[in-house]
Structure 1
């Protein structure tokens, strides 16, 4: 959805989007899942404005 549109989203924006579906997650649950995706090489999580990037593997 956002990736196809080449747009970025904060964890809060992801939470709001998920709340519109039946898949609700807390911010901590989103952080945990993002960390797991980083650990397997699908995401690169940066501090500050650079944010999070989906890798080639992701």
Structure 2
């Protein structure tokens, strides 16, 4: 993972697995990333944090 010598934004891929992944992802319209609940602390996956009170006034 992250073993390419050039940042992905330049799309100058050297490894075959990255070229295959790029082909797959370029054909998609959107992505859905699933995160296991065990990765987040118990309070983080239940709701969005509210904005600061000063921003609501």
Please indicate the TM-score interval, normalised by the length of the shorter structure.
under 0.3
Greater share of helix: 1
Larger C-alpha radius of gyration, 1 or 2? Answer: 2
With normalisation by structure 2, the TM-score equals: 0.27
With normalisation by structure 1, the TM-score equals: 0.27
Greater share of strand: 1
Using CA pairs under 8 Å that are at least 6 residues apart, name the structure with larger relative contact order, 1 or 2. Answer: 1
